[in-house]
Structure 1
Amino acid sequence: MFAKILFLALTIQSAFTFITGALGDIYDAREAASIAHMVLEHITGLGKLDRIVHKERKLTPEQNDALKHAIAALQRLEPIQYITGSAWFYGLEFNVTPAVLIPRPETEELVEWVVQDAAGKTDLRILDIGTGSGCIPISVKSALPAASVSGADVSEEALEVARSNSEKLKLDVNFFALDALNPQQMQALENYDVIISNPPYITQREQAEMQQQVWGFEPSLALFVPDNDALLFYRHIAVTALEKLNRGGFLYFEINEAFGKEVVTLLQGLGYEGITLKQDFFGKDRMIKAGIAV
């Protein structure tokens, strides 16, 4: 029945109804409708208003095939962002592939914190470690055009996505390869005024509590840390940042809500000053800022 319906000449309106029906057992009505709009915009190239105006327009055979593949992928729980190849973050549209994490709204709050703190400052040098799609450094560059901004990642595939985003959005960010767990590579870093990182922070035992849309499709390399060393990346990055941050510089982390106090204790033990633990808009411990003495 599914295939027969798809090979009929669907209109934009009937395609919307068909998508929401196909997703009814997976998502609630509101989320299914939101996904249907994203799928149809991706397939037709038309915005929501144009799709309303042209709701009786029939899909082409190519669009019909694309719709069929999109629904099959969604029913396998593949995230819509990987199907469309894009995600919005901080007012910008980023390319995304399964080589990178899908940008999250909570991370926008981290970017905004950095931007607010940096307002009015000049000649800043900013580095994002574990950059993925490049959403953090590119968004920072968009808000702080005078800053020199870089992003680093261990994954060459992720760096390709990040560079494509920098080129598409016409924002000059330098991307380079870096293994945050390699002391020699970390010691070779230049000095910066601000270092940011949203590193892997989900313990392996937490995987069972996550949605399959996350652990089944997003890169494990960017998500998980061992159960017995949840602060693995924070420790390596924070130790290096003590030497690589200029006087008066700041380190910003996105964190696992379950380990806020532990990260604060780690940073205190290393000698950081002015440590601030901040909650996201859900009221969960999500971000930390720590400073280097002037």
Structure 2
Amino acid sequence: MPENSIRAIKTYFINELNSFYEQSELESMFYITVAHYFNFEKKDFILTPDKRFSESELLKIIYCVKDLKNGKPLAYIFGEWEFFGLPIKVNESTLIPRPETEELVDIILKESNQVVDILDIGTGSGCIPITLKKQNNNYQVFAVDVSKEALKVATQNAQLNEVEVTFLEYDILKNRNSIFQQQFDVIVSNPPYIPGSDKTEMANNVLDFEPHLALFVANHEPLLFYDAIADFAKINLKNNGKLYFEIHENYGNETLDLIESKGFSDARLIKDINGKNRIVSAQLIN
């Protein structure tokens, strides 16, 4: 067991993990970890470098390091992750929220100022609909997922963040008809879009822990979900309603072509903060 000063804890954390992660990544992971467990920020390390912790607190670090050696992502070790400044519970039934999805949410918020009905398809942890509702309480927000376990987590997250979102179990691939009484102003989805052939290029901590159901599609059908959701949206969007997708960076033009072939207008391909094709939006004008 390491000594109980914050300096010793940092040395232990980095020395134990330096053969598993890059140095710059380890620094970031350490500060995220002590902030989560001890509410100890980076500035506190400078102000109180000799801060000491109890044995039970040290054990949290030791168990965390053990999990990190096995490749388990910090989000699953903590059981939650921050998204758009909100705490979002996660487990291995839900994807870990990504910064790219924050960009998707930000675009919707900027372009949907009125009271609107919004549907999120394939909601996972519920981070998209919960954030939209938290940022604009005038929104009426609905979300669906095929996974019962993911919906349990999403419901917990709505309660945690004190917002009202209607969650329902629904499989868009088996039923493209609506289960709702109303139409929507906005339909958004971050569906599975990674071809199975991409697995060889992906990190083990993603492959070993995150739900493949939410990640992968067959190599010969990379746009499977976009096709189904676009068909659903044609029936269930209001006139002038908008469709928003997060996409695979390599299928931007193909996704645009698909959406336009379905009769949507004003289709746009939007790059993320890293300059990669990441978002497609379009409008249904009847």
Matching residue of 1:153: 145
- Once the 2 structures are TM-superposed, how far is the Cα of residue 37 of structure 1 from its aligned partner? 1.6
What amino acid does structure 1 have at the position aligned with 2:106?
A: E
1:235-274 superposed matches below 5 A: 235-274=227-266
- Once the 2 structures are TM-superposed, how far is the Cα of residue 220 of structure 1 from its aligned partner? 0.5
- Once the 2 structures are TM-superposed, how far is the Cα of residue 58 of structure 1 from its aligned partner? 3.6
- Once the 2 structures are TM-superposed, how far is the Cα of residue 10 of structure 1 from its aligned partner? 2.5
Query: Unaligned 5+ residue runs, structure 2?
Result: none
Instruction: Determine if contact 1:203/1:226 at 8 Å carries over to the other structure.
Output: yes
What amino acid does structure 1 have at the position aligned with 2:10?
A: F
Write the distance in 1 (CA, Å) between the matches of 2:145 and 2:167: 8
Residue of structure 2 aligned with 1:75, choices 47, 69, 72: 69
What amino acid does structure 2 have at the position aligned with 1:247?
A: N
Write the distance in 1 (CA, Å) between the matches of 2:48 and 2:146: 46
1:48-63 superposed matches below 5 A: 48-50=42-44, 52-63=46-57
Write the distance in 2 (CA, Å) between the matches of 1:264 and 1:11: 55
What amino acid does structure 2 have at the position aligned with 1:187?
A: S
1:245-286 CA deviation, whole Å, 9 max, x = no partner? 011101100001111111111111111111111111111111
- Once the 2 structures are TM-superposed, how far is the Cα of residue 139 of structure 1 from its aligned partner? 1.1
- Once the 2 structures are TM-superposed, how far is the Cα of residue 170 of structure 1 from its aligned partner? 1.0
Write the distance in 1 (CA, Å) between the matches of 2:206 and 2:160: 26
Instruction: Determine if contact 2:227/2:258 at 8 Å carries over to the other structure.
Output: yes
Write the distance in 1 (CA, Å) between the matches of 2:178 and 2:157: 28
Corresponding pairs, count: 285
Matching residue of 1:84: 78
Matching residue of 2:100: 106
- Once the 2 structures are TM-superposed, how far is the Cα of residue 51 of structure 1 from its aligned partner? 5.2
2:10 is the alignment partner of 1:19: no
2:154 is the alignment partner of 1:187: no
Write the distance in 2 (CA, Å) between the matches of 1:158 and 1:281: 28
Matching residue of 1:34: 28
1:30-58 CA deviation, whole Å, 9 max, x = no partner? 21011112222333344444555554344
Higher mean C-alpha deviation, range 8-17 or range 165-174: 8-17
What amino acid does structure 2 have at the position aligned with 1:70?
A: C
Instruction: Determine if contact 2:134/2:163 at 8 Å carries over to the other structure.
Output: yes
Residue of structure 1 aligned with 2:280, choices 282, 288, 291: 288
Instruction: Determine if contact 2:129/2:165 at 8 Å carries over to the other structure.
Output: yes
Residue of structure 1 aligned with 2:164, choices 172, 193, 202: 172
Matching residue of 1:214: 206
Write the distance in 2 (CA, Å) between the matches of 1:242 and 1:26: 47
1:197-236 superposed matches below 5 A: 197-236=189-228
Identity across matched positions, percent: 36
2:124 is the alignment partner of 1:116: no
1:110-134 CA deviation, whole Å, 9 max, x = no partner? 1111111112x22x10011111111
Question: Secondary structure at 1:183's aligned position in 2?
Answer: coil
Question: Secondary structure at 2:188's aligned position in 1?
Answer: strand
Matching residue of 1:3: none
Instruction: Determine if contact 2:145/2:151 at 8 Å carries over to the other structure.
Output: yes
1:41-97 CA deviation, whole Å, 9 max, x = no partner? 333344444555554344323223222211011011111111112211112121111
With normalisation by structure 2, the TM-score equals 0.94
CA RMSD of aligned residues (A): 1.6
Question: Secondary structure at 2:15's aligned position in 1?
Answer: helix
Write the distance in 1 (CA, Å) between the matches of 2:191 and 2:180: 17
